[in-house]
Chains A and B, each alone.
Chain A
Amino acid sequence: MALTEAEVRGIAEYARIALSDEELLEMTAYMNDAVGILEPILQYMDEDVSPTFHPIGELSNVMRADEPDDARALSIDDALKDAASVRERSFRVPSILGEGGDR
């Protein structure tokens, strides 16, 4: 079933990618083409095999003690170096809720 523009608009909101009306048209056409080339995969859904999520089996998360590692940690200056907006050694963001407010 083809994806509608409204559905693609919803995906764009979820993906946090603002689309103009013209981009929405192009993206909807693309999404339907792309999903079309994925159709052959659906026949594998009922295969009686375990999924492989990773080429290397038996990987586990790398854990360590919850202690600062000065050799690996970025300095605050380095961490802020690439931020577009900084205030008092912090990342500066607009209001998290609602419209406007203290930046």
Chain B
Amino acid sequence: MAGIDSLSAAQIAAGVAAGSFSAREVARAALDAVGRRDGSVGAFLQVSADLAFEAADRLDAMRAAGEELPPLAGVPLAIKDNMNLVGTRTTCASRMLADYESVYTATCVQRMLDAGCLPIGKANMDEFAFGSSTESSAFLPTNNPWDVARVPGGSSGGSAAAVAAGEVTLALGSDTGGSIRQPAALCGVVGMKPTYGAVSRYGVVAFGSSLDQVGPFGRSVEDVALAMNALVAGGRDPRDGTSQDCHADFLEHLDDPIEGKRVGIIPAFMEAAGLEPEVKAAVESATRALEAQGARLVEVDLPHLDAAIAAYYVIGPAEAFSNLARFDGVRYGYQEADCANLSDQSSRSRANGFGAEAKRRQMLGAYLLSSGVYDKYYYAAQKARTLITRDYEAAFKAVDAILMPASPRTAFKHGEISDPTQMYLSDLYTISLNIAGNGGVSVPVGLGADSGLPVAAQLVGPAFRDRELLVFARALERAFGTAVVAPAFAGEGGELA
């Protein structure tokens, strides 16, 4: 019998529906893979075996009763630990929420469970999603399955690593400045940030409310399309005021040819300082692969994208400061004992509950929102946002998708980037999409010629055209092959009995 990591989401669901194996056997195999592999990877903060078996038994009972099974029946799922799921803690990888028990379930998680996924566990992340390496987790580092001396990227590093190591088939992440696409690139898996508003954020701990979006990781574009179907099923979520009705079948046109489609390239992006030669070469080869399938390359100019990083580090910290003000140690979260008064309790609880980067971002946000500073930076950043959005709108009159790098470099070593402001440049190619709101997907395009580590290209689409975006991602996959489990972990445990 096959190992769990050799099967796609569709194959697992079909196998469960056909009775080739039970959902309980899948749960057992996935948990065995986690048990054998996660000591070296560190993708999980919690393993929710009981919930996985309960979900599996419900599916097996449905099959026994002759009922039709949902489309992702039995597919193992990792959930980023900023998403609430009743029966688990939701820690945001922070001491602040180390003991926080979820009291309700996030819509995105519920929709994946309704589609039949088995919740294997909660995945590690940068604390409160502040970071690009998962090194700011208060609990443990996550290692890149392709080289455990290196980081998986972040902030959804646990989710990306769990998929890359074959511990799960699908994972959920959140992306505020690149936190799905950059770790997907560094771990060699497919990661999609849908258009802002496409997926409900209800029950996801907020970081930057005008930037945050939830999306899936998988080892194939088809798996990601299946996850997107589940996430948008049910349409608009009334519990998230920004949620839009994006109901669509992401599988329906997935294999459509791209012949005659127009793909935008941005020459200035390929000359940016900090872009590693092997990443540049890989993105150029992705460009040629799309051209070979009949796409027409069109040079586009996005003149205001230079402002994206500065705009992001105004808007993001300002929104984070506002959102994280709720963690005062009273209703939930870490509380310092024996404080003289409420103000002292709040200041000391926040000082000892938050890690260094979470404090830095909030301090920056507090400064940017203070009197006299707010007018200077915040308004300027929101004006730059208008111009960046207009740049994308103009570009998408001329092209159907834009191809660019996802991360300027391959996975770096633990501790290699210690200067926080240098770390911020990791999101050079991803940040502008969060500012404009458009969808983007990181697709593996082989291994770097110098490092032997995964390299990725990023495809960007017009707002709310995420289904069409995956058609381009599938075209890249046709050329470069489906992502594979990191060789050091493939087949280790996880046998379907």
Contact = CB atoms under 8 A, between A and B. Distances in A.
Interface of A: 3, 8, 11-19, 27, 30-31, 33-45, 47, 49-56, 59, 61-62, 72, 74, 78-79, 81-85, 91, 93-101
Contact of A51 (B103, B334, B351, B383): B383
Contact of A44 (B329, B367, B384): B384
A40 B389 CA distance: 18
Interface residues of B, number: 73
Interface string B337-374: 00111111111101100100001101111111010000
A44 B351 contact: no
Interface string B188-201: 00000000110000
Given A39-B310, A53-B382, A74-B104, A18 B347 contact: yes
Given A16-B343, A44-B387, A94-B345, A55 B197 contact: yes
Contacts of A96: 341-342
Given A37-B424, A93-B345, A85 B363 contact: no
A45 B383 contact: yes
A41 B386 contact: no
A30 B333 CA distance: 26
A35 B363 CA distance: 11
B281 interface: no
B436 interface: yes
Contacts, number: 179
A65 to B, nearest CB: 14
Contact of B340 (A17, A31, A44, A100): A100
Contact of A35 (B104, B242, B367, B380): B367
B313 interface: yes
B386 A51 contact: yes
Contacts of B342: 93-96
Given A42-B376, A85-B335, 7 more contacts: A15-B363, A16-B346, A18-B348, A35-B367, A50-B386, A53-B382, A93-B342
B100 A18 contact: no
B421 A34 contact: yes
7 contacts: A11-B370, A15-B365, A17-B363, A27-B359, A31-B364, A82-B331, A84-B334
A11 B363 contact: yes
7 closest pairs, A vs B, by CB? A55-B437, A51-B382, A84-B335, A82-B332, A15-B366, A18-B351, A41-B310
Interface string B97-139: 0011101100000000000000000000000000000000000
B40 interface: no
Interface string B310-332: 11011000000100010011111
B437 A56 contact: yes
B385 A51 contact: yes
B332 A37 contact: no
A43 B310 CA distance: 11
Nearest to A77: B103
A37 B310 contact: yes
Contact of A16 (B309, B328, B332): B328
A38 B367 contact: no
Contacts of B100: 82
Interface in B217-247: 238-239, 241-242, 244
A93 B330 CA distance: 7
Contacts of A50: 383, 386
Nearest to A78: B103
B34 interface: no
Contacts of B412: none
B196 A55 contact: yes
B386 A98 contact: no
Interface string B401-442: 000000000000000000111001000000000011100000
Nearest to B365: A15
A14 B330 contact: no
Residue among A19, A50, A56 with max Cβ neighbours from chain B (10 Å): A56
A82 B364 contact: no
Contacts of A53: 210, 382
Contacts of B370: 11, 14
A93 B309 CA distance: 40
B384 A81 contact: no
Contact of A82 (B103, B382, B387): B103
